[in-house]
Amino acid sequence: MNAKKKFDHSNDLVFLPLGGTGEIGMNCYCYGVGPADDRQWLMVDLGVKFGEETDPGIDVILPDVGFIASDKANLHGIVLTHAHEDHLGAVAWLWPQLQCPVYCTPFAAQILALKLKEAGLDEEVPVKVIPVGSKFTAGPFHLEYISVTHSIPEPTALLIKTKQGTVLHSGDWKIDRTPVLGQGMDEKRLRAIGDEGVDVLVCDSTNVLREGFSPSEAQVADTIAAIVAEAKGRVAVTTFASHVDRISTAVRAARATGREVVIAGRAMRNTIEAARACGMLKDSGRLLDEEEFGYLPPDKVMLLCTGSQGEPRAAIARIAEDQHPHVSLDPGDLVLFSSKTIPGNEKEVSRVLNNLARLDIDVITGEDALVHSSGHPRQDELKLLYDWVRPRALIPMHGEPRHLRAHAIFARKHGIEDVVIPRDGHITKLMPGPLRQIDEAHFGRLHVDGRLIVPSEDGPAKQRRKLSFVGIILVSVAVNSKQDLAADIEVVTDGLPHGLQDGLQEAAEKAFEGTPKPRRRDVNVLGETIRTSVRRHADQIWGKKPIVKVVVHEV
Ligand SMILES: [Zn+2]
Ligand SMILES: [Zn+2]
């Protein structure tokens, strides 16, 4: 082998996750072909993650795509596998950095259009609408959307063919042989691409810890229909706003028992409109607005609403607090949580459940009956996909570290020996095999703070978190040309216990008096002396060190 050949990386196919491996959320996976200094990129999915309590004021978290943005001339497209927020939600925020075509299915295009419009980008972003089952090309990437089953319309797996090798990127999927809507899992095509040869399967890990096979949407539909048929009073069903299959199921259960359907929640309305624009929910009839709820007899109405994750501003939370402007429930009415509580949302959900209990309203959740089924594959479904596709190697994705590790062990146990656990920012060579980490790329998180995108580390959320523990003290000092006080020192506090004020004022005055006049000339020195004294005093009395800001005015 000559030296040139040895270092020729033009045949490399690499995988770089910038989000989605190490967390469930903010999925962003990049595939690259060619040498490191001229790599051609394709991005698959660009989603958000929802903010946590630890970051006050941050509702949405984005992946940092700076690494790819700095090479955007070589980015041939963003391909979206489906319309869930964790796969599509960051496009409107980050597209201005990336400036490339966005490929998605008709339903995802409807959902994306709303977001682009809100961001004022609807005229700018070249959105290429590709029907499920179609082939298309982005630069050196030959692509195909393969129909799978999941918990939103038009979920796809993406077949990525390059001259360097073939990858099946599973997207989010489960095997549902009796789905309520959609084309279903294209087992035939998946087996065929297995025959053609797949080098690497990059695969959903969300439910790898669960044994067996997920229940079908049809089973869920039967359960919901039976529950609604038994209900005597009003029925409210809350589910994920994007779950069109479940919306369809609930509407059918209502129609079967002569109930009108009232929709509450903008997100659910938007989904229904998007679905109807794509030819879905055509037989669901007229869906009423929330204003009409109160005029209908209890046994003739079903409310379909948002808030299954306990979101405090969503319809079901406000109904549970009896604060909804148009909808109220009475003792004996029924609320059905056709959903799963996503880890992290337990407190909010239990607050809603407790509020409903206070109103003496019956509640059925996924723990009581089969009123929800996850959209992700359990172990027996993973095994089936491995059998159909027969990949040489596997990379687990869409999971927290424990899911990824368990998936790696599971895949090896089922005959796929070449498995690498990826990490956000790691560049893994897929082809030529075996899988091997060859490089690292900059990665991280960005916070959406109001209308702005800000850093997550050392960003405003960090300061706010500190404020939430200890409060703030502002000290205002006016000094005249003789280095004496021109007015009384003013101390203002926020978030501190009562009774500290006078002591703080004295501490500030003492610190001023104790500073010799020549040293008072340096406002920085004077300010710092006062700041440390005030902080020390608060600590002595309170046992906490608040944030102290001192402003020195020279008058
Ligand atoms: Zn997902
Ligand atoms: Zn999904």
CA angle, 204 then 206 then 210, to 5°: 115
Nearest to 230 by CA among 284, 296, 299, 287: 299
SS (H, E, C) 235-293: EEEECCCCCHHHHHHHHHHHHHCCCEEEEECHHHHHHHHHHHHCCCCHHHCCCEEHHHH
Distance 82 CA to ligand 2 centre (A): 7
Please identify every stretch of the chain with a pLDDT value under 70, giving residue numbers as ranges: 1-8
Distance 48 CA to ligand 1 centre (A): 10
What is the reported pLDDT for 53? 79
Residue with tokens 């998946």: 190
Distance 541 CA to ligand 2 centre (A): 52
Helix, strand or coil, per DSSP, at residue 30: strand
Residue with tokens 């406000």: 318
What is the reported pLDDT for 52? 82
Distance 87 CA to ligand 1 centre (A): 6
Residue with tokens 């028992």: 257
Sheet containing 60-63, strands listed edge to edge, beginning at the edge strand earlier in sequence: 49-50, 60-63, 445-449, 452-455
Nearest to 63 by CA among 33, 87, 36, 83: 87
Domain spans of the chain, in order of start: 12-212+374-455, 217-364, 471-554
Length of the chain: 555
Distance 481 CA to ligand 2 centre (A): 67
Instruction: Report the DSSP pairing between strands 362-364 and 141-147.
Output: unpaired
Phi, psi angles (nearest 5°) of residue 186: -85, 75
Distance 374 CA to ligand 2 centre (A): 10
Distance 87 CA to ligand 2 centre (A): 7
* pLDDT over 90 percentage in the chain: 91
**Do 471-554 and 12-212+374-455 fall under one CATH topology?**
no
Nearest to 360 by CA among 320, 327, 300, 323: 320
The CATH homologous superfamily for domain 12-212+374-455 is: Ribonuclease Z/Hydroxyacylglutathione hydrolase-like (3.60.15.10)
Ligand with an atom nearest the CA of residue 242: 2
Ligand with an atom nearest the CA of residue 86: 1
Residues 247 and 339 sit within 8 Å (Cβ to Cβ): no
Residue with tokens 């099946």: 168
Q: What is the CATH number of domain 471-554?
A: 3.10.20.580
What is the reported pLDDT for 1? 41
Instruction: Report the DSSP pairing between strands 452-455 and 445-449.
Output: antiparallel
Distance 420 CA to ligand 2 centre (A): 23
Ligand with an atom nearest the CA of residue 24: 1
Distance 175 CA to ligand 2 centre (A): 14
Distance 536 CA to ligand 1 centre (A): 49
- Cis, bond preceding 432 (omega within 30 deg of 0): yes
Q: CATH number for the 217-364 domain, one of 3.10.110.10, 3.40.50.2300, 2.120.10.30, 3.40.50.10710?
A: 3.40.50.10710
C-alpha span between 295 and 534 (Å, rounded): 62
- Cis, bond preceding 434 (omega within 30 deg of 0): yes
SS (H, E, C) 406-459: HHHHHHHHCCCCEECCCCCCEEEEEECCCCEEEEECCCCEEEEECCEEEECCCC
Distance 324 CA to ligand 1 centre (A): 31
Distance 112 CA to ligand 1 centre (A): 16
